[in-house]
Amino acid sequence: MTSARKPTGWLDIHGHFQVPKSEAAAREGMKAFHQACFLVQEPYHWQAEETLRYNDTAGVQLQMLSAIPPGPVEGLRQSNDYGAQMVRQWPGRFGLLAGLPTDNPDACLEEIQRVTDRKSEHYRIPADGFATSTVYNGVSLADPRLRPVWEELHTRRAVVHIHPNALAPPQHGLPAPLVEVALDTTRTVVAMLYQGVFRDFPDIVFVLGHCGAAVPVLSGRLALLGTERWVPNPQGLRREEVEATLRRLYVDTAATAKTGLAPAVRMCGVAHCVYGSDCGVPCSTATTMDENRSDVGRFEMENGIPPATIGMNGWQLFPAAAERACQHPWTKEAV
């Protein structure tokens, strides 16, 4: 991306999608939501055109799509292929963070290769990065068996988005997307810290959803107490390493900007904060996404940060997507 060719709209790193499904399947999904105390009002269907119309009103030029459906790897591959189809259809409006089956390191390595193979019919435009779930089919991202996966992603200097476990059970009668998303992310990221994942693979760009969850708020506590003798520390992390490691992380703003950006900026700096909407899931509406986006702008204004800094930061992580966006000029008539 040269200085003469830059996208004009925002990049949204945190957008979701779903493979098309029947009305009956959507109703079954709604029942499952209700059993998890997630009281969606109607069956949910994702539509690319509707997403693009919203993005036009929100000033989002390109949105990274991600989905990590649980279950057999065949379903995840089908999901990635559909996401890649959306990118081929709208190369200047969508990118793909390919979901990884992190319960199976060998399958993970195969999927990384598959979604970046330009000779493949599906991936003439390769995946822009990768999406992971804190816990996938019961396996945590902190599991040491994933080390070969991190080694491969480190070699590729890949962008890896960490999303909370969408299937976390409700607590105290409240749905997981309300509170558990933050606690689940925090537990996993801290476990990865003590496993040495972030230290040993510094060329992976890790992006934490939802302003880093509670990690920024706890970063000072982790630095202060995390290397004391009473804390198990198998990798021998030093306090300075803890602080430097957390500073290298990136966060997105999904649904948490109002109170989440201040601690995130203190932990990792404004340059490591990228816009995320959490678009494409039933818990996000145009109203809530608009308010969260306004919170991003308000935070910039109140802290002397140039307008749209956070909304434009994500382009630096995805030069190929930025180039596509420049090749397909963004107009509201693009839908």
Q: Give 232: exposed, middle or buried? Use CB within 10 Å, 0-12, 13-18, 19+.
A: exposed
What's residue 269's pLDDT?
Answer: 99
Spell out the per-residue pLDDT of the chain, length 335, in tens.
Answer: 544 589 999 999 999 999 998 888 778 877 777 787 777 778 788 999 999 999 999 999 999 999 999 999 999 999 999 999 999 999 999 999 999 999 999 999 999 999 999 999 999 999 999 999 999 999 999 999 999 999 999 999 999 999 999 888 888 998 888 998 899 999 999 999 999 999 999 999 999 999 999 999 999 999 999 999 999 999 999 999 999 999 999 999 999 999 999 999 999 999 999 999 999 999 999 999 999 999 999 999 999 999 999 999 999 999 999 999 999 988 754 44
Q: Would you say residue 4 lies in a domain?
A: no
pTM comes to 0.95
Q: Would you say residue 334 lies in a domain?
A: no
Q: Would you say residue 26 lies in a domain?
A: yes
Structural domain count of the chain: 1
Q: Would you say residue 5 lies in a domain?
A: no
What's residue 4's pLDDT?
Answer: 58
**How far is the CA of 238 from the CAs of 106, 142, 259, in angstroms?**
32, 19, 29
The helix (H) or strand (E) run that includes residue 181 is helix 180-195
Q: Would you say residue 86 lies in a domain?
A: yes
Structural domain range at position 153: 10-325
Q: Would you say residue 332 lies in a domain?
A: no
What's residue 40's pLDDT?
Answer: 78
**How far is the CA of 268 from the CAs of 66, 105, 125, 255, in angstroms?**
24, 29, 31, 19
Dig out the tokens for 275 from the structure.
């816009």
Q: Would you say residue 335 lies in a domain?
A: no
Q: Would you say residue 330 lies in a domain?
A: no
What's residue 30's pLDDT?
Answer: 76
Q: At 124, which CATH number?
A: 3.20.20.140
